[in-house]
């Protein structure tokens, strides 16, 4: 009941991470437990008060170990407690050193069973609860990802874009940093669906999503805004940098005629705070520039130039 769990626990090779705080906690546990064991089982205390009820004072330390440490450490603490109890009892000291050997053995066995069972069972229940909590948290993360991701392209969806853009605009205003938004629409995408089928169209969208992922930094996000329209948010990006990034994306799509079935893209760029200071206004400005790129002949980038929108052509 003592040796078998100890051997089995230490036989399994697991990589343990012991922080300085964890080492200090373990040392404190062993030190206090050893002191309490000596006070209960050592000579002298039995002459003042009955020490048998005091054995229950050991259980809080077993519970401490079960809550804070792994099965290996709990089995070691159990072995330490049982070894000290056996040693003091053999020396004729402690609450289990009775006149009859059989009585001493029965009391010692009951004590050891209580200690070992409490420690190991409680530790197993806590570990199982921890695994259940981790599984639930993992499921929640997956469900959250499903609510903010486009299932086809794995890009973020429009709902996430709206929330993210509002948060980033608040940060941009606080830090007085620029924020750029690129709106992109695939040119004549309906022709692909009509001529090659919707499955081929879906594959084009997947390829475009992968291309956008390759062209965003860690601080940027790419989203599928809806249908064949996409959006890229570029925090802390100047207008010139956003124009250059847009031109790179436009050129990259143009260079993939086989995989993208000859599709091209029109892009519109807007900047906060130059063109808008709120999420709705920034999207509207970028969309305005995007459709100006469409009107100008498609397959190019336009920067928002104002309500009259003689937007500047920046890439063809």
Domain range summary for the chain, segments of one domain joined by +: 3-145, 158-315
What integer is the mean pLDDT of 144-170? 92
- Tell me, what DSSP letter sits at residue 311? P
- Higher pLDDT among residues 4 and 293, named by residue: 293
Architecture (CATH level 2) of domain 158-315: 2-Layer Sandwich (3.30)
The predicted pLDDT at position 211 comes to 95
- Higher pLDDT among residues 124 and 16, named by residue: 124
Tokens (6 digits) for 67: 């809550």
- Higher pLDDT among residues 149 and 44, named by residue: 149
Judge whether residue 152 has pLDDT over 90.
Answer: yes
Report the SS3 class of residue 225: strand
The predicted pLDDT at position 45 comes to 59
* Beta-carbon contacts of residue 246 (< 8 Å; ≥ 6 apart): 182, 184, 267, 269, 301, 314, 315
Tokens (6 digits) for 205: 């969208």
The predicted pLDDT at position 310 comes to 44
* Cα–Cα distance, 101 to 223 (Å, whole number): 78
H-helix segments, the chain: 3-11, 20-41, 59-68, 71-90, 101-148, 158-175, 189-196, 198-214, 239-254, 279-295
Judge whether residue 89 has pLDDT over 90.
Answer: no
**Beta carbons of 264 and 208 less than 8 angstroms apart:** no
The predicted pLDDT at position 72 comes to 84
* Cα–Cα distance, 269 to 249 (Å, whole number): 12
Cα–Cα nearest to 74, from 84, 65, 82, 87: 65
Active site annotation includes 229:
no
The predicted pLDDT at position 50 comes to 55
- Higher pLDDT among residues 9 and 20, named by residue: 20
Radius of gyration, alpha carbons of the chain: 34
pTM over 0.85: no
* Cα–Cα distance, 187 to 229 (Å, whole number): 10
Which is the catalytic residue, given 168, 228, 313, 316? Answer: 228
- Give residue-wise pLDDT tens across range 181-219: 999 999 989 899 888 899 999 999 999 999 999 999 888
pLDDT range class, residue 307, cuts 50, 70, 90: low
pLDDT range class, residue 13, cuts 50, 70, 90: low
Give me the chain's average pLDDT, please.
87
pLDDT range class, residue 315, cuts 50, 70, 90: very low
* Cα–Cα distance, 255 to 225 (Å, whole number): 23
Report the SS3 class of residue 187: coil
Percent of the chain with pLDDT over 90: 52
Judge whether residue 4 has pLDDT over 80.
Answer: no
The DSSP code sequence of 139-159 is HHHHHHHHHHB-TTT-SB-HH
Judge whether residue 46 has pLDDT over 70.
Answer: no
**Beta carbons of 233 and 271 less than 8 angstroms apart:** no
Of 27-31, 88-92, 125-129, 166-170, minimum mean pLDDT range: 88-92
**Beta carbons of 277 and 173 less than 8 angstroms apart:** yes
Judge whether residue 312 has pLDDT over 80.
Answer: no
Cα–Cα nearest to 234, from 250, 258, 218, 210: 218
What integer is the mean pLDDT of 227-240? 95
Sign of CA dihedral 65, 71, 72, 77: positive
- Tell me, what DSSP letter sits at residue 278? S
């Amino acid at each position: 009941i003592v040796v078998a769990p100890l051997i089995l626990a230490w036989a399994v090779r697991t990589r343990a991470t012991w922080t300085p705080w964890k080492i200090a906690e373990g040392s404190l546990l062993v030190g206090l437990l050893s002191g309490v064991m000596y006070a209960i089982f050592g000579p002298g205390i039995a002459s003042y008060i009955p020490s048998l009820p005091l054995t229950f004072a050991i259980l809080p330390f077993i519970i401490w170990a079960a809550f804070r440490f792994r099965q290996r450490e709990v089995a070691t603490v159990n072995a330490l407690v049982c070894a000290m109890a056996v040693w003091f009892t053999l020396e004729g000291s402690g609450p289990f050193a009775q006149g009859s050997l059989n009585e001493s053995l029965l009391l010692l066995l009951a004590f050891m069973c209580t200690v070992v069972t409490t420690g190991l069972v409680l530790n197993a229940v806590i570990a199982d609860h921890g695994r259940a909590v981790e599984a639930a948290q993992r499921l929640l993360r997956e469900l959250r990802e499903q609510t903010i991701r486009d299932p086809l392209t794995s890009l973020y969806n429009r709902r996430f874009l709206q929330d993210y853009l509002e948060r980033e605009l608040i940060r941009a205003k606080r830090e007085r940093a620029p924020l750029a938004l690129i709106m992109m629409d695939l040119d004549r995408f309906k022709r692909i669906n009509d001529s090659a089928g919707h499955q081929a169209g879906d594959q084009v969208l997947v390829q475009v999503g992968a291309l956008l992922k390759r062209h965003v930094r860690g601080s940027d996000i790419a989203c599928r805004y809806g249908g064949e329209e996409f959006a890229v948010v570029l925090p802390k990006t100047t207008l010139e940098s956003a124009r250059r990034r847009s031109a790179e994306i436009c050129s990259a799509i143009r260079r993939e005629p086989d995989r993208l079935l000859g599709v091209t893209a029109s892009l519109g760029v807007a900047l906060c705070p130059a063109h808008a200071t709120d999420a709705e206004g920034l999207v509207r400005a970028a969309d305005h520039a995007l459709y100006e790129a469409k009107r100008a002949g498609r397959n190019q980038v336009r920067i928002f130039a104002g309500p009259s929108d003689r937007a500047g052509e920046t890439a063809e």
